[in-house]
Structure 1
Amino acid sequence: MLIAIPAEAYPGEFRVAATPETIKKLIKAGHTVRVESTAGLHAAISDAAYTEAGAEIALHPEALYQGAQLILKVRAPQAHELPLLPDHAALVALFDIHRYTHLDTLNSKNISAYALELVPRITRAQSMDVLSSQANIAGYRAILLATQYYPRFMPMLMTAAGTVKPARVLILGAGVAGLQAIATAKRLGAIVEVFDVRPATREQVESLGGKFIEVALSEDEKAATETSGGYAREMSDNYKLRQTLLIDQQARLADIIISTAQIPGKTAPILIPEKTVKAMKAGSVIIDLAVDSGGNCPLSRADEVVHSENGVVIVGHGNLASLLAADASALYARNMLAFISLLQDSSGTYAPHFDDEIIKATLISHQGVLSKVSEPAPVPILAQPA
């Protein structure tokens, strides 16, 4: 196959869908790989590095897509990119499918589109799980971003001028991003407290050095906290009220809050209401990882830093993984390489395994027919407060 790797056009997207490491493997498998010039610039990959790996360099999109059978992207194509895409090609990317508005156009071009965020969370698909690999990076970067705005030290320091207390970090949600945030905050010397609706996450939290805080549960509520797949369920209104009170109490004590709660295809739950922000300490920082889905704090603004009247800084950055574009691209490209192994036969010809459950879950458009979009792989969430 001729595989095309375009430069990303989405604002603020610095990742790239293939690296010299994965391109070498694609070429070894018999493919021809063409990369748009400067596609890897923000991920610390030069055109020369791609050329050395065996890729062709296209100086403009028209040359990139000529004859391309498979297109690998990070973000789904924007409106101005669509006319350039070759008819009948295959496209693999992150679509954010519940908000993507150009699927009909792709379908009219008979493009077979695969949405990587729909990869099911099964053991066989772990190597393709881009949500986990990128959330891991986002959790790490969230803590580093918080230190940029927090006006104090993270660790305890004992100096001749006196003792500096360690920062208190509250993490809402012990999913992939939350667990990495715990580990990073602990390495920086902070006191870390973690809330998650699922009691089963306590062991993971404590193994990383975090203190698990929880709402007291009845026996019936314990049985209802998570699905058979290990993800958080929607809880009762009574539970949500108790959760709101607990988070409010802990937020008033926290110096930094990392909020990770999202619901696939829905608006993110409000976990840090305005009244809670008003009660927090001056100099406190909130990093809202759910800002692109509406935010866990109603004061959050996408890609903006908001300063509340009482001195709390609320940072809304919806693409933290892109701020570590080199490593994020390396992991994403490996996920992509694993996924496209399902799109080819032993000779490297495009031949999707349509009976494969991973292909069934991710294929959203094929031969002019839109597939029924199922819910994305569930992300561990907190209950929505009443």
Structure 2
Amino acid sequence: MKIGAPRETRPGERLVAATPTTVAQLVALGYDVAVESGAGSEASFDDASYVAAGASVVGHDEVWASDIVTCVNPPADDDIARLRSGATIVSMMAPAARPDLVQAFWHQGVNALALDAVPRISRAQALDVLSTMSNVAGYRAVIEAAEAYGGMFAGQVTAAGKTAPAKVFVIGGGVAGLAAIGAAVSLGAQVRAFDVRPEAGEQIESMGAEFVQAQAAQQEVSSDGYAQAMTDEQERLTAVMYAQESAWADIVITTALVRGSAPRTITADMVAAMRPGSVVVDLAASGGGNCELTVPGSVVVTDDGVTIIGWTDLASRLPKHTSQLLGTNIVNLMKLLTPGKDGQIVLDMDDVVQRGMTVTLGGEVLWPPPPVQVSAAAPAPVAAAVSAVDPVVAARLAAEAARRQSQRRLATYGLGAVLLGLAVAFSPPAFVGFFTVFVLAVFVGYYVISNVSHSLHTPLMAQTNAISGIILVGALLQIGSDDWWVTSLALVAATVASINIFGGFLVAYRMITMFRKDA
């Protein structure tokens, strides 16, 4: 079968659905690949590179006559008419918002697979085009902000004085938000971020940002993966927090987009309170914008000197790498649809991934798809109804339980103090000095390690390896002692330290290998 990759016709689009690298992978699956002349020119891929990869370069009509056509954006009406009955079209379609497009595919008798309808399950992550585009958009948002911002992201200390780092506030801890956080942190900015999902806090902190704690404004997540609707009180508290953080920040990056719609997070009053020269990058501009003053597809500068960037093509502004990532998503899809690696597409509607992204098939409209069962585990049994408890009684019981716990804690501390006093009173004088050093080392080690940033955990691992090396040397010196008790402790210490040293170096080597270009 032949796969065709046409040139994108949407004004300003620079992406292409196939690159020379992905063409070679499709050819290895047994397909003939046809690329429209000039399809990759905006992404720095010339026709000669496609030919060298095994593709044929053809005209517009011929590429749309292929058995399978893959493109970035939904095809225009005249291109749909060029598809032959029984052909397969693979692209982003937004079928939930484009019923006219679904009807056009059905009327033409083609099989339509929506790249932006891939089920959000682990097995389908390699096909997830939305995550790919969001990741690139988050990175590009920081680049756009850096260009519009009138200062450096990283703080500088020079002979002429010092400058403070840029302050960045990111709204949303999803794929786009985390990508923006990572880019801003790598440039040296001071980054704070918020997400309505409390479980996103750990991910935000792992990227080197500070998670804004607003417990009353955070929500539980519904079964479909989206945050539940806010109460009026939650909306009020969230608005207060957004106002405080936007006034603090030099750059605000918003990423909140729910089912294609952008909730309002930054009001005109909040923008007015920002310092002149500040920047707002609205990644949700395609859904109307999170900022009240966003104009989709444009850049606005307010009377107070705040720049609001509402580009809707951020991923397309990095066409070379975005096309490569998007093309890899399509290759992974074709691997799923070509189990025999013989160049023959096989659509299996019993596969939840294929069924979830199939819009039309064999003259039938299959959109919307049935719900995806995320877990194969049996549903949890329904808990028996519990009778209501008097709040006064509940409060009294809770107070009593807290009092008993406090008494047990005091008793434990008292017993520990007595045992420690006995140990000091009946031990040799040298023991007191050794024990003091041990206690101080425990306290110092705890407070030092607990306050280390996530981004420094790998260097910290190397430091602990050095400490374990000192322990190993000390243990080896004591193994020859005449006291069997000292020898036993030295043997245990040497064994544990060796495990820590060799295990730490293996983990560090594995992590460093991940960042090598030739890995």
TM-score between both structures, scaled by the size of structure 2: 0.68
Cα 1:288–1:342, aligned 2, differ >3 Å: closer, same or farther? same
1:338 matches 2:332: yes
Q: Which structure carries more relative contact order (alpha carbon 8 Å, separation 6+)?
A: 1
> Which residues of 2 match residues 265-276 of structure 1 at below 5 A?
265=260, 267-276=261-270
Deviation at 1:65, TM superposition (A): 2.4
RMSD (Å) for aligned C-alpha atoms: 1.9
Cα 1:204–1:258, aligned 2, differ >3 Å: closer, same or farther? same
CA distance in structure 2 between the aligned counterparts of 1:314 and 1:235, rounded to whole angstroms? 26
1:69 aligns with 67
CA distance in structure 1 between the aligned counterparts of 2:371 and 2:245, rounded to whole angstroms? 31
The structure whose Rg is larger is 2
* Match of residue 361, structure 2, among 355, 366, 370: 366
Matching residue's letter, 2:8: E
CA distance in structure 1 between the aligned counterparts of 2:239 and 2:79, rounded to whole angstroms? 44
2:352 aligns with 357
Matching residue's letter, 2:253: I
1:121 aligns with 120
Deviation at 1:309, TM superposition (A): 1.3
2:404 aligns with none
1:9 matches 2:9: yes
- SS of 1:102's equivalent in the other structure is helix
Matching residue's letter, 2:350: D
1:44 matches 2:44: yes
TM-score between both structures, scaled by the size of structure 1: 0.91
Q: Is the 8 A contact 1:252 1:279 kept in 2?
A: yes
Deviation at 1:148, TM superposition (A): 0.9
Cα deviation per residue 1:96-152 (whole Å; 9 max; x = unaligned)? 223334332222111111111111111111111111122111111110110111111
Matching residue's letter, 1:131: L
Matching residue's letter, 2:190: I
1:92 aligns with 90
Identical positions, percent: 37
Matching residue's letter, 1:95: M
1:384 aligns with none
Q: Is the 8 A contact 1:17 1:329 kept in 2?
A: yes
Cα 1:235–1:376, aligned 2, differ >3 Å: closer, same or farther? farther
CA distance in structure 1 between the aligned counterparts of 2:215 and 2:207, rounded to whole angstroms? 22
- SS of 1:74's equivalent in the other structure is coil
Cα 1:302–1:157, aligned 2, differ >3 Å: closer, same or farther? same
- SS of 2:169's equivalent in the other structure is strand
Q: Is the 8 A contact 2:117 2:356 kept in 1?
A: yes
* Match of residue 287, structure 1, among 265, 281, 285: 281
CA distance in structure 2 between the aligned counterparts of 1:241 and 1:340, rounded to whole angstroms? 47
- SS of 2:24's equivalent in the other structure is helix
CA distance in structure 2 between the aligned counterparts of 1:239 and 1:25, rounded to whole angstroms? 50
Matching residue's letter, 1:235: M
Q: Is the 8 A contact 2:226 2:258 kept in 1?
A: no
Q: Is the 8 A contact 1:118 1:375 kept in 2?
A: no
Matching residue's letter, 1:50: Y
CA distance in structure 2 between the aligned counterparts of 1:197 and 1:335, rounded to whole angstroms? 29
Cα deviation per residue 1:314-371 (whole Å; 9 max; x = unaligned)? 1011121111111111111111111122333413322211111011111112233222
Q: Is the 8 A contact 1:34 1:57 kept in 2?
A: yes
2:434 aligns with none
> Which has the larger share of strand?
1
CA distance in structure 2 between the aligned counterparts of 1:198 and 1:324, rounded to whole angstroms? 30
CA distance in structure 2 between the aligned counterparts of 1:371 and 1:277, rounded to whole angstroms? 45
Q: How many residues align?
A: 370
Q: Is the 8 A contact 1:264 1:376 kept in 2?
A: no
CA distance in structure 2 between the aligned counterparts of 1:367 and 1:36, rounded to whole angstroms? 27
